[in-house]
């Protein structure tokens, strides 16, 4: 018996060691990458037949609901479709990992059929359900149904008008977290925290991507959907999470700081390079553009934004992922902010009860006050115009993307008779900004308002100070400008626009509508897949067979990996089926070359990267088109409010699936690929040249 006990102990130790090192140094070999998710187990044929039969019943009932053309019913169809998609995908793509999941699938199908029958009868019971509820919505990205979970408190009533606090909880890493397992868990597990009188939203995040890219948009879309069915208090929404979910919490806290009354990240990671060196023991050798692109999600670079989001971090004392909060603590200290970092004594990768209570009490107190209103001081930092707004202040143009841009706004009262109040604006790396105060947000004294509304008043004086330190050793300078803005309006609101002209002088008004990088049209390649997109397949023949075969192979891979990693179905059209409506509503991911893809042919000569039958030209450089192909993103010349992308889906590949901190953009705005090197787990070939376009979407000089 003693020998058996030792053997069992050793077995448990080995199992725990394996779990601990599941994404350790053995996952640092790009040439030997395990599949994520892994292949599933074999399903007995009788279980397959049973599930397929129930699936057909559910699919028929979904068709019947659609046929009613009753908006009240069809609007709720996503709440039924989540069960159909979950089981169908698990069957079609071999994603059952345990025999217990067969029973889970049967139960999900049963619930889906029950909901469909309730819809057909006009009596959807789950919309009034308390406790654990799963629901769904149709994503604008790819038109697939996506699930989310809710915890509805017993005190919530469908009949009263009281708005309710909402906490978003981001789940941890789970390579087996298919839709089947996610739905089952959300129907049986209340989660780490369930505060009183609080709706808890559990986004799926499109699987295991740390809620980045399409996973990030999933969170925002799920929250919007919850607001349609429940009374959510906009002033009392928080973000929380642990492990991979803690990483997501840092990301949402720093990139969307003004949306939350509080944030509480636990463990996880907060940036890429330091975490991979410490946790993954990885020897990093980034290409220049890779290192630049880390700025998109490295939250320590965005720490200043937490001025507007009260944050309580948690780490276990002995957890290697304590590194995330340590990094943020240092970054916040540089901004004059002391991080409230709760550390569980003796804890590893989990919460202890004492720390749980401290964290919960902190958020409860913050919820009483609610989200910070527009303060006297607004501070915003960004590296990309995708994330360009804070409390009504907005950066509308940057001098150069991927370098820190800051906008600071505050109001200074003056006591001198006849002198208006000053609105002080400080910028760095900003070419245009706007400030939009809602009624009552501009907190001015009655005396100042009276002076501003006097007929002789020149309006509010906006003093703009711009410090540019791109080359401080060569050209340190501070630019100042003064704008006179009429207002405030009679309701207390005010709108201010400022931009720099060609001489660097600040002028009143917005930038001209010329082609330039702007919010949601700033790149890099991955940005096109964070909104509605379609893949456009060529119907012609490529000028070079090597290019044509590579493009077809990459297209096939992209379709598979979009479903595998972002749990969606790509909308695919041929080039001859692209309509004006599609061009107006979707980003076009074009595959092939200008000879094989007619849409690519229509835009190819309007781009800075010129792709002809024989050569690829980038400025003075050329490459042989027989075995090279460009990957790029650019405003669609046929509709400059949308993107075109050449021959690329999201740019991180299989190697990045092994650790969420690797899941960052891998290519900038354009790249030249040498196809003589086969695609691998990191690159689609040999990247011989890559760079960003400038702020006017032209080649850098």
CATH of the domain at 181: 3.40.50.1820
SS3 sequence, 345-409?
CCCCCCCCHHHHHHHHHHHHHHHHHCCCCCCCEEEEEECCCCCCEECCEEEEEECCCCCCEEEEE
CB 405 within 8 Å of CB 429:
yes
Same domain, 159 and 271: yes
Residue 132: is its pLDDT beyond 90? yes
Give tens-digit pLDDT for 46-105: 999 999 999 999 999 999 999 998 999 999 999 999 999 999 999 999 999 999 999 999
Residue 164 has, within 13 A of its CA and on its CB side, a CA count of: 26
* Residue where a domain terminates, one of 303, 335, 369: 369
Same domain, 360 and 464: no
State how many domains the chain has: 3
* Residue where a domain terminates, one of 304, 339, 369: 369
Please give the order of strands across the beta sheet that includes 164-170: 131-138, 145-152, 198-203, 164-170, 232-242, 262-266, 312-316, 340-344
Backbone angles phi, psi at 264, to 5 degrees: -140, 85
Tokens of 350: 């989990």
In a domain, residue 383? The reply is no
Give tens-digit pLDDT for 452-488: 665 655 667 788 888 874 444 444 455 667 776 666 6
Q: Say how far apart CA 611 and CA 630 lie, in whole Å.
A: 8
Instruction: Compute the C-alpha angle 26/29/35, nearest 5°.
Output: 80
Q: Which residue has the higher pLDDT, 292 or 377?
A: 292
Same domain, 355 and 404: no
In a domain, residue 59? The reply is no
Tokens of 45: 């044929």
Q: Which residue has the tokens 């400022």?
A: 498
Residue 210: is its pLDDT beyond 70? yes
CB 633 within 8 Å of CB 517:
no
524 upstream amide cis, omega within 30 of 0: yes
Residue 615: is its pLDDT beyond 80? yes
Q: Which residue has the tokens 């075109």?
A: 644
Q: Say how far apart CA 499 and CA 478 lie, in whole Å.
A: 16
Residue 482, Cα to own-chain centre: how many angstroms?
Answer: 37
Q: Say how far apart CA 411 and CA 56 lie, in whole Å.
A: 63
Please give the order of strands across the beta sheet that includes 460-468: 377-382, 405-412, 422-428, 460-468, 477-485
Same domain, 408 and 462: yes
Strand 621-624 to strand 615-618: parallel, antiparallel, or no bridges (unpaired)? antiparallel
Same domain, 328 and 214: yes
pLDDT at 352: 97
List all residues 6 or more positions away from 205 whose beta carbon is below 8 Å from its beta carbon. Answer: 170, 171, 211, 215, 216, 218, 219, 248
List all residues 6 or more positions away from 687 whose beta carbon is below 8 Å from its beta carbon. Answer: 287, 667, 671, 672, 673, 674
**Average pLDDT score over the chain:** 91
Same domain, 562 and 503: no
| Least confident window among 233-247, 331-345, 369-383, 603-617 | 369-383
Count CB-CB contacts under 10 A for residue 183: 27
Global pTM?
Answer: 0.94
Same domain, 409 and 547: no
| CATH number, domain containing residue 551 | 3.30.379
Same domain, 260 and 352: yes
Q: Say how far apart CA 62 and CA 74 lie, in whole Å.
A: 9
pLDDT at 444: 64
pLDDT at 18: 34
Same domain, 530 and 499: no
* Residue where a domain terminates, one of 369, 402, 434: 369
pLDDT band at 377 (very low <50, low <70, confident <90, very high): confident
Domain that includes residue 408, residue range: 389-508
In a domain, residue 701? The reply is no
In a domain, residue 45? The reply is no
Same domain, 581 and 474: no
Same domain, 260 and 298: yes
Q: Which residues pair with 508 in a beta bridge?
A: 498
In a domain, residue 363? The reply is yes
Helices (H) and strands (E) in the chain, counts: 17, 28
Give the Å distances, CA to CA, from 181 to 104, 151, 450: 8, 17, 62
In a domain, residue 79? The reply is no
pLDDT at 439: 79
Q: Say how far apart CA 608 and CA 610 lie, in whole Å.
A: 6
Portion of the chain with pLDDT greater than 90, in percent:
82
Give tens-digit pLDDT for 645-672: 999 999 999 999 999 999 999 999 999 9
Burial profile 36-57: b = 16 or more Cβ within 10 angstroms, e = fewer: bbeebeebeeebeeebeebbee
pLDDT at 437: 83
CB 332 within 8 Å of CB 284:
no
In a domain, residue 61? The reply is no
Handedness of CA 83, 87, 89, 95 (dihedral sign): positive
In a domain, residue 210? The reply is yes
Tokens of 6: 């030792």
pLDDT at 701: 85
Same domain, 544 and 622: yes
pLDDT at 438: 81
């Amino acid at each position: 018996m003693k020998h058996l006990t030792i053997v069992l102990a050793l077995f448990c130790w080995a199992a725990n060691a394996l779990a601990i090192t599941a994404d350790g140094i053995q996952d640092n070999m790009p040439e030997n990458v395990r599949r994520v998710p892994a292949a599933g187990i074999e399903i007995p044929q009788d279980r397959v037949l049973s599930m397929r039969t129930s699936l057909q019943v559910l699919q028929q009932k979904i068709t019947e609901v659609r046929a009613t053309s009753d908006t009240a019913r069809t609007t709720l169809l996503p709440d039924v479709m989540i069960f159909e998609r979950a089981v169908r995908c698990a069957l079609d793509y071999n994603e059952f990992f345990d025999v217990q999941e067969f029973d889970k699938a049967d139960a999900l199908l049963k619930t889906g059929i029950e909901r469909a029958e309730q819809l057909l009868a006009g009596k959807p019971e789950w919309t009034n359900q308390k406790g654990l509820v799963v629901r769904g919505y149709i994503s604008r990205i790819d038109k697939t149904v996506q699930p989310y979970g809710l915890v509805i408190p017993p005190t919530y009533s469908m009949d009263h008008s009281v708005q309710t606090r909402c906490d978003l909880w981001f789940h941890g890493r789970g390579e087996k977290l298919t839709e089947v397992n996610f739905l089952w868990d959300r129907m049986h597990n209340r989660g780490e925290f369930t505060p009183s009188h609080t709706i808890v939203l559990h986004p799926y995040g499109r699987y295991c991507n740390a809620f980045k890219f399409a996973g990030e948009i999933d969170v925002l879309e799920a929250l919007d959907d919850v607001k349609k069915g429940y009374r959510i208090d906009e002033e009392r929404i928080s973000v929380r999470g642990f492990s991979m979910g803690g990483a997501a919490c840092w990301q949402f806290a720093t990139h969307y700081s003004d949306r939350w009354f509080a944030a509480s990240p636990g463990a996880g990671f907060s940036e890429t390079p330091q975490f991979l060196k410490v946790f993954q023991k990885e020897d990093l050798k980034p290409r220049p553009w890779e290192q630049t692109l880390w700025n998109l999600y490295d939250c320590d670079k965005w720490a200043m934004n937490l001025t507007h989001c009260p944050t309580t971090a948690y780490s276990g004392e002995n957890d290697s992922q304590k590194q995330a909060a340590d990094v943020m603590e240092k970054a916040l200290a540089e901004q004059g902010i002391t991080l409230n970092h709760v550390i569980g004594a003796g804890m590893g990768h989990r919460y202890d009860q004492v720390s749980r209570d401290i964290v919960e009490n902190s958020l409860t107190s913050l919820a009483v006050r609610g989200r910070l209103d527009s303060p006297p001081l607004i501070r915003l930092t960004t590296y990309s115009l995708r994330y360009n707004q804070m409390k009504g202040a907005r950066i509308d143009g940057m001098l150069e993307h991927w370098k820190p841009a800051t906008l600071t706004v505050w109001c200074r009262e003056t006591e001198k008779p006849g002198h208006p109040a000053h609105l002080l604006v400080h910028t760095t790396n900003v070419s245009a900004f706007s400030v939009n105060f809602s009624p009552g947000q501009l907190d001015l004294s009655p005396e100042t308002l009276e002076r501003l509304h006097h007929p002789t008043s020149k309006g509010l004086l906006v003093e703009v100070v711009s410090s540019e330190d791109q080359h401080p050793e060569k050209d340190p300078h501070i630019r100042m400008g003064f704008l006179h803005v009429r207002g405030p309006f009679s309701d207390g609101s005010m709108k201010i626009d400022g931009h720099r002209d060609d001489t660097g002088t600040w002028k009143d008004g917005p930038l001209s509508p010329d082609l330039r990088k702007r919010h949601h049209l700033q790149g890099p390649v991955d940005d096109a897949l964070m909104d509605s997109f379609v893949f456009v397949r060529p119907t012609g023949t490529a000028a070079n067979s090597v290019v044509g075969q590579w493009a077809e192979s990459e297209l096939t891979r992209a379709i598979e990996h979009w479903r595998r990693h972002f749990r969606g179905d790509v909308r695919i059209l041929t080039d001859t089926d692209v309509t004006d409506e599609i061009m107006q509503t979707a980003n076009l991911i074009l595959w092939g070359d200008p000879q094989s893809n007619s849409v690519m042919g229509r835009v190819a000569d309007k781009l800075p990267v010129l792709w002809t039958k024989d050569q690829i030209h980038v400025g003075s450089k050329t490459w042989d088109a027989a075995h090279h192909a460009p990957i790029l993103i650019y405003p669609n010349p046929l509709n400059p409010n949308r993107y075109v992308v050449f021959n690329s889906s999201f740019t991180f590949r299989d190697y990045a699936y092994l650790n969420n901190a690797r899941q960052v953009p891998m290519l900038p705005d354009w790249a030249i690929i040498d196809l003589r090197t086969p695609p691998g787990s990191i690159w689609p070939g040999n990247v011989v040249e890559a760079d960003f376009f400038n702020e006017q979407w032209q080649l850098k000089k």
